[in-house]
Chain A
Amino acid sequence: MKVAVVVFPGTNCEIDTKYAYEKLGQEVTLVFHKEEKLPSDIDLVVLPGGFSYGDYLRSAAIAKFSPIMKDVISFANSGGYVLGICNGFQMLLEMRLLPGAMKRNSNVHFISKYQHLQVIDNNNTFLQKFSVGEILNVPIAHGEGNYFIDEVGLKELYANNQVLLKYVDENGQIDNPNGSIDSIACICNKNKNVFGLMPHPERAIETLLGSSDGVKMLQGFIK
């Protein structure tokens, strides 16, 4: 599989993401945001974590105007797989490739810690290797991860099985670190080819370093 990881000024998770996919035996290209075209034959585009454009104005508000994004949007609209992690998730929301918006964490602090997540739906490429209800432990690190969507939008997300992960404690009880509506940590679009999550699967690939629960997520896209 060929993976493109897009790098913006202020991105800081591109090397981890590249390392993780290379460790899984995949070919990874870092694509600078000023490029106008993604490399050909790409199977997955990852918008990685970080602080694109210093998160000025709003998180990810400026990244959506980078030259490469036109091609990312057409790639997504033609059914290509796009994964947005943390700042990448915020970009997908700002670009309206995913519904809703991010607000400042409810406690107004930057939160950086391990967080348990529960799989809500596995009928999608990203989480196909998990069972529904499975509990994972994956790091989160964000200041604006307070996911918001209006009531109508929320109903639609549930109706189409687009709510994929929720923040929970180790027993599966809701444990909401950032105030996200319904404790939502990960969603996808209706077509189930665009995925966004605040937790960092690329930082959970070695049991020795705390957790390897991110591996099965990243593997979901590998054919």
Chain B
Amino acid sequence: MKIRVNIQLKAGVLDPQGKAVHHALSSLGFNEVADVRVGKQILLDIDESDVTKAKARVTDMCEELLANTVIENYEIEIL
């Protein structure tokens, strides 16, 4: 089963990378951009056919390693 994990800084946590990209877009003339947030995407190929079980395992992975839940949120998406 292929699973996509999206990791983003929590709302309210300033995103230095997003800010830098926003600045660069503005200087290129893309002035309609109001905000940019940069995150991470992790693709997992998991040996599991049960969606519920797989989600539970990936949740553990996110909590333990993939995300730092002090500053980051994660979303799990079955592909």
Contacts and interface: CB of A to CB of B under 8 A. Distances in A.
B70 A108 contact: no
Interface residues on B, range: 10 to 19
B17 A58 contact: no
B10 to A, nearest CB: 9
Contacts of A94: 68
Interface residues of A, number: 19
Interface string A173-185: 0000001000000
Contact of B70 (A65, A101, A104, A107): A101
Contact of A58 (B19, B20, B68): B68
B68 A104 contact: no
B20 A57 contact: no
Interface string B1-34: 0000000010001111101100000000000000
Nearest to A60: B68
A108 B68 contact: no
Q: Which 5 A-B residue pairs are closest in the complex by CB-CB distance?
A: A101-B70, A101-B71, A108-B20, A104-B16, A106-B16
Given A93-B70, A103-B9, A104-B17, 5 more contacts: A65-B65, A103-B71, A104-B16, A108-B20, A179-B14
